[in-house]
Structure 1
Amino acid sequence: MPVELKLPPSDDWVPTLDDTPYQRLGGEEAVRALAHAFYDAMDAEEPALAKLHELDAQGRVNAGTRERFGLFLMGWLGGPQHYSERHGHPRLRMRHGHLPVDLAMRDAWLRSMQRAMDTRGVTGGLRRFLDERFAQVADFLRNTEG
């Protein structure tokens, strides 16, 4: 008699206009918390990357940077377009063009985001989708060999 293989249910989630990553993460407060967790991870584990940002008196990435990134993430994840309303089009390559973004910096950025998503409990199909999208954007911003 053949053995029936029991596989876990598939979570091949793909975003739609009615089911966005922004919604899946839990909305505005959850996305802001992800942005803060990202910079907390960067401050703790990626000091060379953190030093490329404006720092506060305690040597941590400052509140303004955290706020702008949170606003950007909201829109990028399919939520309100507060970043564009306040700061215009993100123009990511232009805004990062003055920084040397090589493989090491790309990877440090991705590790910080992965730690943030771990901290926030992002899993399953949403995690796979975000891991892929964040990797694409981080690679797109590379402007230096190595």
Structure 2
Amino acid sequence: MTSNEDHNYGIGDASFRAAGGEAGIRRLVDTFFDRMSSDPRFATIYAMHPEDKDESRDKLARFLCGWLGGPKLYHEKYGGISIPRIHEHLAIATPERDQWLTCMAESAAEQPFEPTFRKYLLEQLFVPAEAVRRRVSQLTSRDEQ
């Protein structure tokens, strides 16, 4: 049995609960933004965010709540979302994708998550991160033609 089968991550609100609900997700997002702002390895991706990071923190936390099977808080406040489309104006290539994933992995390591959930979460986060990189790459290729 895989770790996902043991814990039913990805089914119903199991992932949302494993993350500690909204409070746990907000702690993760706060750790992520604090790390991004203070660690020079993440300066490139930090600079991509608006100067006032409060709304960015709120948007990411609300998105993750719904994405992990909890309440659709992002949709309630901001409406629908396409992660690749809202990032297509940014210069996101493999290094930026990997910076984001590394920052998130290090932030998740500071949370009281079960190791199996942490592994599952990071594997799942690769999917939208790669979708953003791929979308930006496609648009850049079209612009160069």
In 1, Cα distance between equivalents of 2:8 and 2:122:
13
Are residue 140 (structure 1) and residue 134 (structure 2) matched?
A: no
Are residue 117 (structure 1) and residue 117 (structure 2) matched?
A: no
Partner of 2:67: 76
Query: Following superposition of structure 1 onto structure 2, how do residues 101-112 of structure 1 map, counting pairs within 5 Å?
Result: 101-112=92-103
Q: Secondary structure at the match of 1:141?
A: helix
In 2, Cα distance between equivalents of 1:121 and 1:75:
20
Q: Secondary structure at the match of 1:120?
A: coil
Partner of 2:143: none
Contact 1:14–1:129 (CA under 8 A) maintained in structure 2: no
1:124 offset after TM fit, Å?
A: 2.0
1:41-66 Cα offsets, whole Å, 9 max, x none, are 2112211110010124xxxxx11111
Partner of 1:29: 23
Partner of 1:59: none
In 1, Cα distance between equivalents of 2:74 and 2:59:
7
Query: Following superposition of structure 1 onto structure 2, how do residues 42-121 of structure 1 map, counting pairs within 5 Å?
Result: 42-45=36-39, 46-56=42-52, 62-121=53-112
In 1, Cα distance between equivalents of 2:45 and 2:110:
19
Query: How many pairs were matched up?
Result: 131
- Among all aligned residue pairs of Structure 1 and Structure 2, give the percentage whose two residues are the same amino acid: 28
CA RMSD of aligned residues (A): 1.9
